[in-house]
Every structure is written in structure tokens, then in C-alpha cells.
Chain A
């Protein structure tokens, strides 16, 4: 029974995640089309420039609403703890695939938690600034100074969001087994023990007397 996998994400959680992911890609690609001339060709994916301009804000709003679903599901597990500070101090070891001295983590490690809060902040800034620069419906209620500031903040938040998602995607490629967690929901017990030791103990009720720290070099 030792190799029985553990369910990490339910079908609803997975669907919610991928709905946000799809909308992120659509909003990001259409936004990048308007951000840099070298990427304007991306507007053809959405039916041309005017359609890109029309669709982008709706995709963004929908992404935000669905992201709130993820926030409600996962915010508790993303509260930073004292343990996370140590993890962050040793993030260089994590990056080198070393495990010695890296504290065992719960459902999410400190990097994942920071990503979660960064995404939330970016999405909030994107939503609020996006409303201000939404010419068709809302810009007439704002002054030109506010519109200019919102435009810059929108680009900045989008930039941070895209960078964060690049890190997020790479982490999924790097840590074998984590994509499966979000695709079919299950992780192996070894995966859970190795990457989320405290969470593994929590969900299995196993009392692991040997600490993960220093188990191997």
C-alpha cells in the first residue's frame, strides 16, 4: 500500500486552475500584441487588431473572476510561516537540486506562496488599472493623468505577472511529477514526501521520525 498515490488536487480545483491558465494565455498574448510592435502579429490570433482590443479586457476580467476561485480555495495554504524564511534563505540549494538543510515544507513551499501573493497583487492592479484604460466603457470617468498612470501600472503589473508565470511553468517542468498533480490530480507518495514532507505527514497521518533534513546529500 506504500505506493498508493495521493490526491493533491480535486477535479474542481484542477478545472479552476486550467480555466485561469487558458484565460491567462489569451489575455497575455493579446496584451503583448498591444505592448510591443514586435509582437503585434499576435493580434492575428484573435481576429486582428480591433478584435484584440475588444476581447482583451473581457478575457482579463474573466481571468480575474476565475482567479478569485483559486484564491478562495488556496489562500489558507499560502500563508507564510517562519519555516518559509529558512526555506527562502536556502533557495540557492533548492535551485541546485540539493536537499541538505532545506526544511520540509507543507502543501506549498515559500516560493509557491510568494508566487500566489504576487499573482493576486498583479491581478488586482491589472483589474483596477484595466478598468481605467477601458476606453469603450470607463475611460470617460477618469482624468488624463489617471489614465496615463493606469496605463503604465497595467503594463508593469502585466510584466511582473508574465515573468511570474514563466517561473511557475518552469517550476512545473523542473520538478517532475508536479504537472501530473494539476492534470490528473494524483502525486506519488515519494513525490509528496520529497517535495512537501509536512503536507505528506498531514494527509497520510504518518509520523515520520526521521527528518527529511540531512537524509541525503
Chain B
């Protein structure tokens, strides 16, 4: 992608070249249409040339158990008993949400390791990644994973390589039920609104769109049957925000701390210039006098010259 399309860059305090206007894109995942076939996981793995280890079944359909450096998207299955005692199988395709205000990018200390494209895609550049894991600390959705092979952080790219040439992400392309759609963010919101009307007409009163304001909105959105309880969907955060601890750490404290350190050095310098050093004054300084002349210091009453160092080393 051309460098002019980058609107935010990690550990960079000036604006990256960003004059070109680009439409914001979004992926919309309709949980009410998802059948849990995992075709999206397979398509992701194929397009991105990722082959995670074959794991073990631990009694759920979640496979693998968690996101990893080689699993960038994962179906999470939840068995939910609703108020009338019926089982609802809530399936959510987990992965990077591509926040408008990305916590990973805010936390990243390496210039250019995380970038945000004008179309909203948040992308990791592993070539600049130093493997510190600050992106994990910053992410409100628990998405990035550090590879044990190369100690770089990985996550869903929203197929930025495909989107750059006008294709939809691989998961969207493969979804057999049309549960995942892709387009401009405005179009996706419109599409979601139609879906929500439909769901409400079918008894899901609380159906709604998940596009959380706390992170400035996201470029991966969900249609949820229970939008009032997103945590039902394998712990999707209710009000995700960048943690205030991360905000403090990577917000005001950074420039203020730097300023304070600089000010401390300057304060020392000007103290030296204005007040000056503490020297031993001549009247206190016995050096320079003729050592052959023995002078009696009236302050000194007891001093044994034959044993001068007796207590010199004796200290705690």
C-alpha cells in the first residue's frame, strides 16, 4: 500500500503522510447467520500461509483453543440458556477489531511497527516489531499474540494485501452463509440496520450493532442478537476502552516525564552557574603549606601519628 495511506504510526509524534482521502472500510460479522463451519478460519490460514499446530479437543468446538501467532481468527462457541430455557448456540468469529483508536498502536514503542491505514485497517509490520508485547498490554480485546518462533507480534491484517487491490478479505470471500460481509463502513452500517430490523421482527428485541464508541468505533463490527449483553459471546467486552492505566502510561506521562528529566538537568546546570560549586576554601585547606613545618591545630587535641589509619576503615 502506498505510504500516503497511513494515518497513524506507532511511536511517531508527527503526522505520517496522510493527505489522500480514502473511504473507511469495515467487515460486518452477523452472528445470527453464522453456522460455525470454520471456513473463515481455513480461508485465513490458506491466504496468509499459516499452519497452526494441530491441538487437542478439550470438549468444545473451539479449535484451536485460542488465537495464536498462527491463528488470526477463531470461532468461539458459547452455549447460552436464554430466559425461556432454550439453548442458544452463540458463535462469534474472534479476531482483531481494527479499532479507530487502537490500543496496540498507542502502546507500541517501536516506530512504524504498527500502522493504521486511512481505510481503517490496523496492521502490524513484523519487520519493525521488537517483541516487547506492549501491543498485548494495550489491546482492549486481547488479540495480538507473540510468536514463540520469531518473537514478533501477529494478528489479523483484515487482509490488507487483498483490500489494497480491491478484493475482500479471505474470510469474507469464503463464508458460505453470507454471515461475513465487507464494504465501506457506511454501507456495512446500513446493511446491519436492515439485519437488526429483521432480527427484531423475529423476536430478538435486543438485536443490535456492535461498533463500540470507547475505541472510536471499529472496522470489524458484529450484528448481535443480544447486543445488550455482548459478554455472552465468549466474553466480548461490553464497553471496551483503552485501559486508563495504559492511557496514563502512554499518554501525558510520556512527555511530562521527559520534560521533568530535562528540567532536572537544567536545574542542576543553572544551580552551578548561579550558586556555584562547593570548594574547600583556602583557610580550611591545609594543602600547599610546607609539610616540614609542623603546625598545631588547636582543634586537634588527640591524634596519634604512629597509628593514623586506625579508625579510617572502621565504618558500617
Instruction: List which B271-288 residues lie within 8 A (CB) of chain A.
Output: 271-272, 275-280, 284-287
- Bound-state Cα–Cα, A97 to B278, Å: 6
Q: Decide if A152 touches B275 in the complex (CB within 8 Å).
A: no
- Bound-state Cα–Cα, A215 to B202, Å: 94
Supposing A34-B132, A152-B245, A174-B278 touch, asked if A204 and B303 sit within 8 A by C-beta, the answer is yes
- Bound-state Cα–Cα, A193 to B299, Å: 11
Closest chain B CB from A117 CB (angstroms):
15
Binds A, one of B24-32, B56-64, B75-83, B305-313: B305-313
Q: Decide if B286 touches A49 in the complex (CB within 8 Å).
A: no
Residues of the A chain whose Cβ atoms lie less than 8 Å from the Cβ of B291: 3
In the assembled complex, B264 has its CB within 8 A of some CB on chain A: yes
- Bound-state Cα–Cα, A148 to B279, Å: 47
Q: Decide if B109 touches A148 in the complex (CB within 8 Å).
A: no
Q: Decide if A206 touches B303 in the complex (CB within 8 Å).
A: yes
Q: Which residue of the partner chain, among A1, A35, A139, A149, contacts B109 with CB atoms under 8 Å?
A: A35
Q: Decide if A173 touches B272 in the complex (CB within 8 Å).
A: yes
In the assembled complex, A119 has its CB within 8 A of some CB on chain B: no
Q: Which residue of the partner chain, among B248, B275, B277, B303, contacts A95 with CB atoms under 8 Å?
A: B275
Q: Decide if B302 touches A170 in the complex (CB within 8 Å).
A: no
Residues of the B chain whose Cβ atoms lie less than 8 Å from the Cβ of A163: 260-261, 264
Residues of the A chain whose Cβ atoms lie less than 8 Å from the Cβ of B133: 133, 135, 139
- Bound-state Cα–Cα, A144 to B254, Å: 21
Closest chain A CB from B269 CB (angstroms):
8
Residues of the A chain whose Cβ atoms lie less than 8 Å from the Cβ of B13: 37-38
Contact flags (1/0) for A118-149 with B, using CB distance below 8 Å?
00000000000000010110010000100111
Supposing A176-B278, A203-B315 touch, asked if A135 and B131 sit within 8 A by C-beta, the answer is yes
Residues of the A chain whose Cβ atoms lie less than 8 Å from the Cβ of B316: 74-77, 107
- Bound-state Cα–Cα, A76 to B265, Å: 30
Q: Decide if A206 touches B137 in the complex (CB within 8 Å).
A: no
Nearest CB in chain B to that of A78: its residue = B316
Closest chain A CB from B174 CB (angstroms):
32
The number of residues on chain B lying at the interface, defined by a beta carbon within 8 Å of a beta carbon of chain A, is 63
Q: Decide if A7 touches B131 in the complex (CB within 8 Å).
A: no
In the assembled complex, B111 has its CB within 8 A of some CB on chain A: yes
Q: Which residue of the partner chain, among B136, B257, B284, contacts A190 with CB atoms under 8 Å?
A: B284
Closest chain A CB from B244 CB (angstroms):
9
Closest chain A CB from B191 CB (angstroms):
33
Q: Which residue of the partner chain, among B245, B261, B287, B311, contacts A149 with CB atoms under 8 Å?
A: B245
In the assembled complex, A188 has its CB within 8 A of some CB on chain B: yes
Best-buried of B130, B268, B289, B301 by chain A (most CB within 10 Å): B130
Instruction: List which B102-156 residues lie within 8 A (CB) of chain A.
Output: 109-111, 128, 130-134, 136-137, 142, 146, 151
- Bound-state Cα–Cα, A162 to B258, Å: 10
Q: Decide if A49 touches B280 in the complex (CB within 8 Å).
A: no
Residues of the A chain whose Cβ atoms lie less than 8 Å from the Cβ of B268: 166-167, 169-170, 173-174
Q: Decide if B302 touches A49 in the complex (CB within 8 Å).
A: no
Q: Decide if A203 touches B264 in the complex (CB within 8 Å).
A: no
Closest chain B CB from A129 CB (angstroms):
11
Residues of the A chain whose Cβ atoms lie less than 8 Å from the Cβ of B137: 133, 144, 147-148, 151
Residues of the B chain whose Cβ atoms lie less than 8 Å from the Cβ of A144: 136-137, 142
Residues of the A chain whose Cβ atoms lie less than 8 Å from the Cβ of B88: none
In the assembled complex, B229 has its CB within 8 A of some CB on chain A: no
Q: Decide if B271 touches A170 in the complex (CB within 8 Å).
A: yes
Q: Decide if B254 touches A95 in the complex (CB within 8 Å).
A: no
- Bound-state Cα–Cα, A76 to B249, Å: 36
Q: Decide if B303 touches A177 in the complex (CB within 8 Å).
A: no
Contact flags (1/0) for A36-74 with B, using CB distance below 8 Å?
111110010000111011000000000000000000001
Q: Decide if A3 touches B301 in the complex (CB within 8 Å).
A: no
- Bound-state Cα–Cα, A87 to B277, Å: 19
Nearest CB in chain A to that of B248: its residue = A152
Q: Decide if A3 touches B286 in the complex (CB within 8 Å).
A: yes
Q: Decide if A190 touches B285 in the complex (CB within 8 Å).
A: yes
Q: Decide if A1 touches B308 in the complex (CB within 8 Å).
A: yes
- Bound-state Cα–Cα, A148 to B242, Å: 11
Q: Decide if B311 touches A95 in the complex (CB within 8 Å).
A: no
In the assembled complex, A175 has its CB within 8 A of some CB on chain B: yes
In the assembled complex, A14 has its CB within 8 A of some CB on chain B: no
Supposing A38-B258, A163-B264, A203-B314 touch, asked if A174 and B280 sit within 8 A by C-beta, the answer is no
Closest chain B CB from A217 CB (angstroms):
12
Q: Decide if B313 touches A10 in the complex (CB within 8 Å).
A: yes
Q: Decide if A135 touches B132 in the complex (CB within 8 Å).
A: yes
In the complex, 8 of the A-B residue pairs with CB atoms within 8 angstroms, ordered by the A residue number, are: A7-B312, A38-B258, A135-B132, A163-B261, A163-B264, A176-B279, A190-B285, A205-B303
Given contact pairs A173-B272, A207-B302, enumerate 13 new A-B contacts (beta carbons under 8 Å): A1-B303, A3-B289, A36-B258, A77-B315, A77-B316, A148-B137, A149-B245, A162-B261, A166-B268, A170-B268, A175-B278, A205-B303, A208-B299
